[in-house]
Amino acid sequence: MVFRKLMAAFGAGVEVDTVLTSTGVRPGERLRGMVNFRGGGSDYKVEGIFLDLTAVVEVEQGDHEYKTSYSFLRQQVAGSFQLAAGAQHNQPFEIPIPWETPISAIGGQPLRGMRLGVQTELALAGALDKGDLDPLFVSPLPAQEHVLGALDRLGFQFKKADLERGTLYGSTMPFFQEIEYYAGGQWRRHFNELELTFLAGPQQMDVILEADKRGGFLTSGHDALNRFTVRYDANPGSADEALGRALQQMARRRGWF
Question: Does 257 reside within a domain?
Answer: no
Whether 70 and 115 share a structural domain: yes
Which pLDDT value is given to residue 7?
A: 42
Could you tell me the sign of the dihedral formed by the alpha carbons of 231, 237, 240, 241, in that order?
negative
Of 135, 155, 170, the last residue of a domain is 135
Give the count of domains, the chain: 2
Whether 198 and 86 share a structural domain: no
The dihedrals phi and psi of 235, each to the nearest 5 degrees, come to -60, 130
Question: Does 96 reside within a domain?
Answer: yes
- Who's near 211: CB < 8 A, 6+ residues apart? 183, 190, 191, 192, 193, 194, 195, 223, 224, 225, 247, 250
Which pLDDT value is given to residue 129?
A: 59
Domain residue limits at 102: 6-135
Which pLDDT value is given to residue 220?
A: 42
Whether 20 and 44 share a structural domain: yes
pLDDT per residue as tens, the chain (257 positions)? 333 344 444 555 677 888 888 767 999 999 999 988 887 777 878 888 899 999 999 888 777 888 899 999 999 998 888 888 888 888 999 999 999 999 999 988 999 999 999 988 888 766 555 666 788 999 999 999 999 999 999 999 999 999 999 999 999 999 999 999 999 888 998 889 999 999 999 999 999 999 986 554 334 445 778 999 999 999 888 889 999 999 999 988 644 33
Which pLDDT value is given to residue 214?
A: 58
Whether 111 and 201 share a structural domain: no
Of 100, 135, 170, the last residue of a domain is 135
Whether 129 and 12 share a structural domain: yes
Whether 179 and 90 share a structural domain: no
- For 79-135, the pLDDT digits (tens) are 888 888 888 888 999 999 999 999 999 988 999 999 999 988 888 766 555 666 788
Of 101, 135, 169, the last residue of a domain is 135
Which pLDDT value is given to residue 132?
A: 67
Could you tell me the sign of the dihedral formed by the alpha carbons of 181, 177, 225, 154, in that order?
positive
Q: CATH number for the domain including 50?
A: 2.60.40.640
Whether 128 and 163 share a structural domain: no
Whether 123 and 176 share a structural domain: no
pTM of this prediction?
A: 0.85
Which pLDDT value is given to residue 131?
A: 62
Which pLDDT value is given to residue 236?
A: 81
Question: Does 1 reside within a domain?
Answer: no
